[in-house]
Chains A and B, each alone.
Chain A
């Protein structure tokens, strides 16, 4: 393996990891507040189309990202109103959001199909960003650095800030938090909106960075992988990052196999059909969830109120 190949592979893996990392961090915060939002896939698609449309109209990808965050957050509010105000079932409502986001993004996207939007320039000088080796550090889209910066920020928020403490308290015991005087509903609105915004930015990575074009259902199930990632990480930020890279590696394996990267390797590897590699991230998600669950502490590390409706007694 040549160094160029290794560098190119790492760059690809980091790119593949970014959207699920963003969406995963958002969902982590949402779930820490005790809400299970299965609508990540729909919010990602809404973010992808919002970011794309805003960029196409303003020719400014930065505004596009803000639009993507807003698109994701707005669509998450549909879920929030139903779940928090009308006490609807979280699983079913999340599913509805996924279906809705898929449909609405397709409808909006019809008139934008085939258009190409301007992309982010590099935030570092070309000498660094285009250098064959240094691009390993400086050659990414700003969204990649944003995602990476959000990891320690999220960890710090949860562990060391008062707002983070309250968020965890609401997810741990909503009735207690309410009786002390915290607004369970308010905290959860904020957490759901943050989850939506992060999923939206994650979705925009597909339509603004990976390909500067819009395609229906372009997030291809990554929202669901982001959900699995949160469980896999045991609701911990550090493990979420590690898990994201693990899934990023699996997705790279698929690309590598499709590009016939195994071309000159052992015959039995060659004989493996491409569908095997395409199924790999999903199969490995199931395997990873099983491994984590079989250690028997998933239930203990999950926020105690996750997915449960909250109705104050007043």
Chain B
């Protein structure tokens, strides 16, 4: 008799108010197989794995484990079966040590010393390096992910679920992760690998299951597919390329940042060190980097939420704005969109109309004599909704009633329609579906075409490469020398992201961070 699949899902259905998150999803994962779960944001991947890991219960359908039908009541039950999971958003405790964090993930009560010995053994087996007594808040993102992996491996899993594991890693770290995953698979552990990065799936996975709108659209062999064919299955249509106008010419320097330094904000913050770059009119300038390397601090410094003491550190068309407040900078033509939509770029429990007041009130004439003109706010919000085809019931809709992509379109529209001289955006398409992402990219290109200077901060290197004219890498608060995107060397960018600032062909120059890590 044939060995039954490790995990066999049939007809899994999960409904949330207003959404069918999973609709009759059926597929199987074999022992030792690396199985990709592919889909856009909102396709239902996370919901599906949450049910496999026991965080949620399916409304209908069956889960079979090694051929036997089971119910997974909670994560503890999942772990007992041998299902391990590494979350996209790490479930780590910043103020605690590596050892304490791992102990919390163990269901069996193991004395601290024995646990430490086990951890060291697992790390040696897979070539992972971690210091058990370090406090998590002092670790890099890559090291934090290693804690999650070690925690999962200590359970001797038969199925390891990896939820978007590479979105926070440098290309080199991704390679090293793949080595670990292949070794695990060779030892018979199944891996369910969630991603939307197609080249990674082609490089790593044996099988790919593609979800769209909660439904399974295909289970295929990624080696036999092209990235484009899988992408089209994923979004259910043909990919739209960015439309650029003919014969673009860049103007003179519009935004100039000179020796901008900002001390770190709080014990876990990142200081900005002597950052200099300039963006010409019509140029889209990309800033790449691994999460937590000062991107947030840079956005806050540019938007004016963290003012600088040196007025000439930031200039727009030669006028010094670095000492101005956020409100004054907006009047001077600087608009910004921070990474976090809910609670930073927008107020979740305010209407779209009120959210328009938040950043557009002064430039769009919504205030007179200290009073808010609610009608003009409503009109403006309505214009943004129409121009950016935001799916919402109207200007009165609460921001948190919108999907991530629609809220992001509204926020981008709110800034772009103010016709800013300079627009700084962070993670413009984070957690946004492909349709909305394409619309946002197009809007940025169109704004640049009118002569504005645009800065895009993103962890998604593919996005920057397709969108930007120029690229620089931020690492531990330092910004690399800008380079034109045409002819950029991925290898070099990857090394810069990992903190190497020298000749990429000389591996002896690999920084202590990377060397220490593996």
Contacts and interface: CB of A to CB of B under 8 A. Distances in A.
Given A165-B103, A166-B104, A172 B96 contact: yes
Given A162-B109, A300-B266, A179 B104 contact: no
A169 interface: yes
A176 B266 contact: no
A180 B104 contact: yes
Nearest to B137: A300
A180 B75 contact: yes
A182 B75 CA distance: 9
Contacts of A181: 54, 74-76, 79, 107
Contacts of A179: 55, 75, 87, 91
Interface string A138-167: 000000000000000000000000100110
A3 interface: no
A111 interface: no
Specify which of A175, A177, A181, A314 lies most central, judged by the most chain B CB atoms within 10 Å of its CB: A181
B394 interface: no
A179 B49 CA distance: 12
Nearest to A297: B267
Interface in B77-97: 79, 87, 90-96
B347 interface: no
Interface in A177-207: 177, 179-182
B56 interface: yes
B8 interface: no
Given A165-B103, A169-B104, A176 B92 contact: yes
B100 interface: yes
A168 interface: yes
B105 interface: yes
- Residue of B56, B74, B104 ringed by the most chain A CB atoms within 10 A: B104
Contacts of A172: 93-96
A299 B95 CA distance: 12
A171 to B, nearest CB: 9
Interface in B227-251: none
Interface in B242-278: 266-267
A314 B96 contact: no
A293 B188 CA distance: 54
Contacts of A182: 104
A30 B109 CA distance: 24
A232 to B, nearest CB: 19
A314 B267 contact: no
Nearest to B79: A181
A116 interface: no
B91 A173 contact: yes
A300 B265 CA distance: 12
A297 B266 CA distance: 9
24 contacts: A162-B109, A165-B100, A166-B104, A168-B93, A169-B100, A169-B104, A172-B94, A173-B91, A175-B91, A176-B92, A176-B93, A177-B104, A180-B104, A181-B54, A181-B74, A181-B75, A181-B76, A181-B107, A182-B104, A297-B267, A299-B266, A304-B94, A304-B95, A314-B55
Given A162-B109, A169-B93, A169-B104, 20 more contacts: A165-B100, A165-B104, A168-B96, A169-B96, A172-B95, A173-B91, A175-B91, A176-B92, A177-B91, A177-B93, A179-B87, A180-B75, A180-B105, A181-B75, A181-B76, A181-B79, A181-B107, A182-B104, A300-B266, A314-B55
Interface of A: 162, 165-166, 168-169, 172-173, 175-177, 179-182, 297, 299-300, 304, 314
Interface of B: 54-56, 74-76, 79, 87, 90-96, 100, 103-105, 107, 109, 266-267
4 closest Cβ contacts across the A-B interface? A176-B91, A181-B75, A172-B93, A181-B76
